[in-house]
Amino acid sequence: EIVLTQSPGTLSLSPGERATLSCRASQSVSSSYLGWYQQKPGQAPRLLIYGASSRATGIPDRFSGSGSGTDFTLTISRLEPEDFAVYYCQQYGSPPYAFGQGTKLEIK
Amino acid sequence: EVQLLESGGGLVQPGGSLRLSCAASGFTFSNYAMSWVRQAPGKGLEWVSTLSPSGSTTYSTDSAKGRFTISRDNSKSTLFLQMNSLIAEDTAIYYCARGSLVTAGRGDYWGQGALVTVSS
């Protein structure tokens, strides 16, 4: 069973700044089947990144994903006000398809 | 437009049962794996169960095995989650999510969720 650990737990930044979120897996994620989701209060999650680095449909290019094996990163190049939310990583290569515990991105 | 609409949530006593439904539209339901993901109040996302497009293969988290059953009716484009022996820790918003054509457990599209409250 793969366990995902996200860091930091909370990230305080200002609009226009760059955000770097980390997701570390307890064992290698097969075929880079790693996704990133954004969730805003009262809303369902939204897929941002799949396959570690591919943007989902309609996702702005300020969002990018990288990494392989056990270390993955979500980068938001220039934060917009609507980007402040909670972000989750998920591995979907082998069940159980676990999520990380989340990183809350808050306005500084 | 892909749409997923959950229903069947509500208040249930500990030990009781509940059946959630997820009505899908805007895509060929029988081509995609479908999943249930839950979120306890103020907590993170927890994957619960995934069902293959044909309904022949299921994957479930340990906490769901033996109590929760995922199923689907491809003729009605509907996904189900039968939950038995419910406990307080099952209180959560339950989301249904559509996978991709290639991978089962990914959540490409999500419903708005159904709230399940287990309390006496």
pLDDT of residue A30: 82
CB nearest to A35's CB, from B35, B106, B111: B106
pLDDT of residue A11: 98
CA distance B90 to B74: 27
Average pLDDT over residues B21-35: 97
Mean pLDDT of chain B: 96
CA distance B49 to B59: 5
Tally A–B CB contacts below 8 A.
66
8-state DSSP, A52: T
A55: closest chain B residue by CA:
B108
CB within 8 Å: B47 and A96: yes
Closest by alpha carbon to A7, among A97, A79, A100?
Answer: A100
Cβ–Cβ < 8 Å for A72, A25: yes
Q: What percent of chain B has pLDDT over 70?
A: 100
Average pLDDT over residues B83-108: 94
A9 touches chain B (CB under 8 A): no
The torsion defined by the Cα of B59, B61, B63 and B67, in degrees rounded to 10, comes to: -10
CA distance A105 to A79: 10
CA distance A25 to A2: 6
pLDDT of residue A32: 83
A59 touches chain B (CB under 8 A): no
pLDDT of residue A96: 92
**A42: which 2 tokens?**
């009262």
Decide if pLDDT at B117 tops 80: yes
CA distance A56 to A47: 6
pLDDT of residue A69: 94
**A6: which 2 tokens?**
């996200």
A36 touches chain B (CB under 8 A): no
SS3 A15: coil
Decide if pLDDT at B103 tops 90: no
Decide if pLDDT at B102 tops 90: no
A62 touches chain B (CB under 8 A): no
> End-to-end CA distance of chain B, in Å?
40
A47 touches chain B (CB under 8 A): yes
A34: closest chain B residue by CA:
B106
In whole angstroms, how large is the CA radius of gyration of chain A? 13
In this structure, are strands A103-107 and A10-13 parallel, antiparallel, or unpaired? parallel
CA distance A17 to A4: 26
Least confident interval from A101-105, B8-12, B62-66, B95-99:
B62-66
CB within 8 Å: B45 and A37: yes
pLDDT of residue A36: 98
Average pLDDT over residues B59-78: 95
CB nearest to B108's CB, from A44, A47, A97: A47
A92: closest chain B residue by CA:
B105
Decide if pLDDT at B26 tops 90: yes
Q: Which amino acid is at B84?
A: N
pLDDT of residue A73: 97
Closest by alpha carbon to B119, among B4, B27, B15?
Answer: B15
**B100: which 2 tokens?**
């991709």
Count other C-beta atoms under 10 Å from residue B52's C-beta. 15
pLDDT of residue B46: 97
CA distance A75 to A48: 11
pLDDT of residue B32: 96
Provide the residue-wise pLDDT of chain A in tens; the chain has 108 residues.
Answer: 999 999 999 999 999 999 999 999 999 998 789 999 999 999 999 999 999 999 999 999 999 999 999 999 999 999 999 999 999 999 999 999 999 999 999 999
pLDDT of residue B110: 98
pLDDT of residue B82: 98
